[in-house]
Structure 1
Amino acid sequence: MRLILISGLSGSGKSVALRALEDSGFYCVDNLPANMLPEAMAMYEEFGYSDIAISVDTRSGPSLGALPQVVTQLRGQGIDVRLLFLEAKPATLVKRFSETRRRHPLAGSGITVEESIQVEQEMLGGVQELGTRIDTSELSANALRSWIRELVDADSSRLTLIFQSFGFKHGVPQDADFVFDARCLPNPYYDPLLRPLTGRDQPIVDFFAKHAEVADMINDIQSLVAKWLPCYSKENRSYLTVAVGCTGGQHRSVFIIESLARAFADQQVLVRHRQLHPDH
């Protein structure tokens, strides 16, 4: 059996993630207390379900503290358990609650949305370390659905390398394990003919081929990741995220991420370009 646990901050996209899994054929349950997971999984096995997705968050109350032990117990029973932890910057969450006019689940008399978010972050402090973090601050619903499907489809028996480009002007991704800054490299943005293109386009590739320092940075990042990858693998981690940023997340970071993905083609690799439209 395969169990995908969805957790994270309210307003970070947990409902979108759960619906994406439901569309992929998972039997989905929203908001199940953590201490009920073993009993529920035994029942689902009896009913013949093999792919289950369950959201577990602060709405579960005190039972949330039992989640680490429950995950260990279920894995000991041979169940493939993966936890996806969704988060976003507080300012983004406040904006989302304001736009949708939703009430934060922890909001009560005399407590603001900002204070509710802080309380929730503290309550979930021990949960986010159990799985893969996904920063949805700059993600559209469609992009999040795509990322969720890619993560779930990955072979859980192997560590997955996630290479992600981003733009510093949009903020550093909170879910990255390694972050590298490519803003010191030559920028094709200042060429009007190259400005509309991305790091995937051949003219941009040709532009960077003329600058040795670009290849040097790629080689240095590749060497560092390759050196430490075995250590992360020994931790039985499912995912390792390497993020490279430039100013806008369109040229330099995209080119470097594509180059790194090719360099680690013998590994299980996922590529994300946070600032690019899916058509690019």
Structure 2
Amino acid sequence: MRVGAPPAPTGEARALEIALITGMSGSGKSVALHALEDAGYYCVDNLPPELLLPFVALEQRNGTSRVGIAMDVRSAASLPLLPQQLAVLRAQGVCLQMLFLDASTDTLVRRYSETRRSHPLTRTVAADQERALVQAIELERELLSELREQAHVIDSSIMRAAQLQAYVKAVISAPSTPLLLVFQSFAFKRGVPVDADFVFDVRMLPNPHYEPALRPLTGRDAPVADFLRAQEEVTRMFEDISRFLSGWLDTLARDRRSYVTVGIGCTGGQHRSVYLTEQLAAAFSRKWVTLTRHRELDAQSAVVNS
């Protein structure tokens, strides 16, 4: 299915930017593709991998500048072709961004139950209906594991559509760089984000939640920041995390890692993790392109604005 109208042919090839959306069925790939469309990408859903190179050549001849493509396990038989084709495109100088949409198995099962849709791999496993769905999801994870390793993973487990669209737009609009560094705060009580490459637990730090004047505020607010900045343990945690990341980011970039997501978790995702996420992003932005996400705060904002 094509999303959006193709541009008028110009008669000459131009540099092409490709955003490839892949990931788990039910994780929000169609929402991400519509975010690309809103950002001016010419989008195609469910393009068979064997058609990728001819399609790209055609769009280059048509003078298309930005293309969004969704591929997933619906093309399971030809997915093994994709890594080699992506290598060919990169060798041709095509600017390629890969986003992998993921969610917890419980979330995917719930979404399928709510929509009453069948998973594309359900027929390949023999079991009762609920067990077949879980088995299909696990099989899909296995089939897509190689693509996941190459992509920027986005955990949509507790994200609303508007949040997901906003984050996809932020990622694709980030400047081209050898490595994009994402700092994400979260609450352990709502689960560890599945898209985090590194997770740091800061629950042992002094908690502003127990200060009545600070409880309704967040780590973005000056009174909370002043409170935490005055705590020796918070400073030591910041320095320890900074030292660890500084020692490995260059190595990860040399290993052709395009994206690294760092999760900072506290109990409620409101104060300590938010403060440290902001501080770390500011510090590392001097050398790396950085993005910040606050999973719990963003979710609350989406509820208020919905």
Give the TM-score, by structure 2 length: 0.88
2:106 to 46, 67, 91: 91
Asked if residue 122 in structure 1 is aligned to residue 142 in structure 2, the reply is yes
2:291 to 244, 258, 270: 270
Matched-pair contact (CA < 8 Å) for 1:158–1:268: no
Residues 37-186 of structure 1: pairs in structure 2 closer than 5 A: 37-108=52-123, 110=127, 111=129, 112-186=132-206
Give the letter aligned to residue 113 of structure 1.
L
Which has the larger displacement, 111-120 or 254-263? 111-120
Return the offset for 1:90: 0.3
Give the letter aligned to residue 55 of structure 2.
A
1:187 to 204, 207, 213: 207
Deviation track 1:91-111 (CA, whole Å, cap 9, x = no partner) reads: 000111112222222223755
In 1, Cα distance between the equivalents of 2:215 and 2:262?
25
Give the letter aligned to residue 93 of structure 1.
L
Matched-pair contact (CA < 8 Å) for 1:162–1:272: yes
In 2, Cα distance between the equivalents of 1:141 and 1:178?
25
In 1, Cα distance between the equivalents of 2:177 and 2:209?
41
Instruction: Give the 3-state SS of the residue equivalent to 1:82 in structure 2.
Output: strand
Return the offset for 1:64: 0.4
In 2, Cα distance between the equivalents of 1:5 and 1:61?
16
Matched-pair contact (CA < 8 Å) for 1:68–1:130: no
Instruction: Give the 3-state SS of the residue equivalent to 1:139 in structure 2.
Output: coil
Return the offset for 1:263: 1.1
Note the residue ranges of structure 1 that are not aligned, 5 or more in a row: none
In 1, Cα distance between the equivalents of 2:177 and 2:267?
36
2:257 to 229, 237, 242: 237
Note the residue ranges of structure 2 that are not aligned, 5 or more in a row: 1-15
Matched-pair contact (CA < 8 Å) for 2:102–2:157: yes
Instruction: Give the 3-state SS of the residue equivalent to 2:145 in structure 1.
Output: coil
Residue equivalent to 1:16: 31
Return the offset for 1:55: 0.7
In 1, Cα distance between the equivalents of 2:230 and 2:56?
57
Residue equivalent to 2:51: 36
Which has the larger displacement, 25-34 or 115-124? 115-124
In 1, Cα distance between the equivalents of 2:73 and 2:298?
33
Residue equivalent to 2:21: 6
Asked if residue 225 in structure 1 is aligned to residue 225 in structure 2, the reply is no
Return the offset for 1:144: 0.9
Q: Identity over aligned residues, as a percent?
A: 49
Return the offset for 1:210: 2.7
Residue equivalent to 1:246: 266
Give the letter aligned to residue 98 of structure 1.
S
In 2, Cα distance between the equivalents of 1:7 and 1:153?
18
Return the offset for 1:139: 1.4
Return the offset for 1:265: 2.5
Return the offset for 1:229: 1.3
Deviation track 1:131-157 (CA, whole Å, cap 9, x = no partner) reads: 111111121111111111111111223
In 1, Cα distance between the equivalents of 2:152 and 2:82?
15
In 2, Cα distance between the equivalents of 1:237 and 1:125?
15
Name the Cα RMSD after superposition. 1.5
In 1, Cα distance between the equivalents of 2:39 and 2:230?
44
